[in-house]
Chain A
Amino acid sequence: MSAPEHLLELTNVAKHFGGLYALSGLTFHVDPGEIVSVIGPNGAGKSTMFNVVTGLYGPDDGGIRFRGANIVGLAPNQVTKLGIARTFQTVHLFPNMTILENAMVGQHCRTRSGVFGSVFRLPGTRREEQRIRERARESLGFFGSRLAGYREEQPASALSYANRRRLEMARALATDPALVMLDEPTAGMNPRETLELRDHIVRMRDELGLTVLVIEHDMRVVKGVSDRVVALDYGRKIAEGSYDEVANDPQVIEAYLGTKAVG
Chain B
Amino acid sequence: MGGVPTRSIVRTGLLGGVGAIYVALVGLYTKFADLELVGQQITLGRVLIVAPAFVAAFAVTRPRVVAGERQTVELRGGLGVGALSGLVGAGVFAAALWFADWFGVDRIREVFVAITEPLVDFLTFDKGVPAGLPILIALCVVGGVVGGFVRTAPVEIRRPASAGVLAVILFGLLQRIIPIVFVQLGFEADWLYDRGAGLTWFGALIVFAVAAAANSLWNRDGGRTRERVRRNVGQAPAAKVGLFVAILAIMTILPLLLGTAISEVLGSVMIYVLLGLGLNIVVGYAGLLDLGYVAFFAFGAYTTGLLTGAFLNTTTGAATPALSADLNFYVAVWIVALLAAGVGLLIGAPVLRLRGDYLAIVTLGLGEIVSVITASKWAQPLIGGPQGMRGVTKAEVFGLNFQDNPQHFYYLALAFVLLAAFVSWRLSTSRIGRAWNAMREDEQVADAMGISTTKFKLLAFALGGAIGSLGGALFAVSIGSLTPASFEITVSITALAVVILGGLGSIPGVLVGALVLIGLPGLLREFEEYRALIYGGALVAIMILRPQGLIPNVRRSRELEDEEVSQDAWAAKAAAESEAVAAVLPGGGLGVEREDLE
Contacts and interface: CB of A to CB of B under 8 A. Distances in A.
Interface of A: 54, 56, 75-78, 80-81, 85-86, 88, 90-97, 101, 104-106, 108-111, 113-115, 118-121, 125, 128-129, 132, 144-146, 149-151, 153-155, 158, 160-164, 171-172, 175, 188, 190, 192-193
Given A94-B442, A118-B431, A149-B570, A86 B584 contact: no
A99 B415 CA distance: 36
B185 interface: no
Interface stretch (B343-351, B449-457, B529-537): B449-457
Interface string B438-462: 1001101111111111100001000
B432 A118 contact: yes
Contacts of A193: 589
B558 interface: yes
Q: Is the interface of B mostly helix, strand, loop or mixed?
A: helix
A145 to B, nearest CB: 6
B528 interface: no
7 contacts: A75-B447, A92-B445, A96-B437, A106-B449, A113-B432, A162-B593, A171-B449
Given A125-B431, A164-B598, 10 more contacts: A96-B555, A106-B450, A109-B449, A109-B450, A110-B450, A113-B432, A118-B426, A145-B584, A146-B584, A161-B596
Given A118-B426, A149-B570, A190-B589, A101 B450 contact: no
Contacts of B590: 160
A30 B593 CA distance: 34
A153 to B, nearest CB: 7
Interface stretch (B67-75, B204-212, B264-272, B561-569): B561-569
Given A96-B441, A161-B596, A108 B434 contact: yes
| The 5 nearest A-B residue pairs measured at CB | A109-B450, A150-B570, A118-B430, A160-B593, A80-B450
Contact of A154 (B422, B445, B563, B586): B563
A190 B593 CA distance: 9
A155 B566 contact: no
Contacts of B592: 190
A192 B453 CA distance: 38
Contact of A95 (B433, B441, B450, B570): B441
Contacts of A118: 426-427, 430-433
Contacts of A106: 449-450
Interface of B: 422-423, 426-427, 430-435, 437-438, 441-442, 444-454, 459, 463, 555-556, 558, 563, 566-567, 569-570, 573-574, 579, 584, 586, 589-590, 592-594, 596-598
B334 to A, nearest CB: 14
Nearest to B567: A150
B443 to A, nearest CB: 10
Contacts of A110: 450
A11 B205 CA distance: 83
Given A150-B570, A188-B596, A129 B449 contact: no
A91 B596 CA distance: 12
Nearest to B445: A92
A170 to B, nearest CB: 12
| Most B CB within 10 A of own CB, among A95, A106, A118, A190 | A118
Contacts of B442: 92, 94
Nearest to B557: A96
Contact of B434 (A101, A119, A145, A155): A101
B586 A77 contact: no
Contacts of A91: 598
B358 to A, nearest CB: 20
A54 to B, nearest CB: 6
| Most B CB within 10 A of own CB, among A94, A158, A193 | A94
B593 A77 contact: no
A131 B233 CA distance: 28
A96 B552 CA distance: 13
B448 A77 contact: yes
A261 to B, nearest CB: 38
Contacts of A128: 431
Contact of A76 (B434, B448, B567): B448
B445 A88 contact: yes
A162 B447 CA distance: 24
A108 B435 contact: yes
A105 B447 CA distance: 11
Nearest to B566: A150
A149 B574 contact: yes
B448 A115 contact: no
B448 A105 contact: no
Nearest to B459: A115
Nearest to A87: B448
B563 A132 contact: no
A240 to B, nearest CB: 27
A81 B570 contact: no
B431 A129 contact: yes
A105 B449 contact: yes
A57 to B, nearest CB: 11
A132 B431 contact: yes
B598 A90 contact: yes
Given A115-B432, A155-B558, A109 B451 contact: yes
Contacts of A153: 566
Contact of A160 (B567, B570, B573, B594): B594
B578 to A, nearest CB: 13
Given A118-B431, A125-B430, A56 B448 contact: yes
A33 to B, nearest CB: 23
Contacts of B459: 115
B209 to A, nearest CB: 40
Nearest to A149: B570
B507 to A, nearest CB: 14
Nearest to A109: B450
Contacts of B593: 160-163, 190
B344 to A, nearest CB: 13
A145 B574 contact: yes
Contacts of B438: 94, 97, 105, 108
A144 B566 CA distance: 19
A85 B445 CA distance: 11
Given A56-B444, A108-B431, A128-B431, A161 B450 contact: no
A155 B586 CA distance: 22
A96 B597 contact: no
A144 B434 CA distance: 25
B447 A76 contact: yes
A115 B427 contact: yes
Contacts of A145: 574, 579, 584
A80 B449 contact: yes
B412 to A, nearest CB: 21
Nearest to A113: B431
Contact of A77 (B430, B452, B573, B574): B452
Nearest to B579: A145
A111 B586 CA distance: 38
Given A90-B598, A97-B437, A119-B423, A80 B448 contact: yes
Nearest to A162: B593
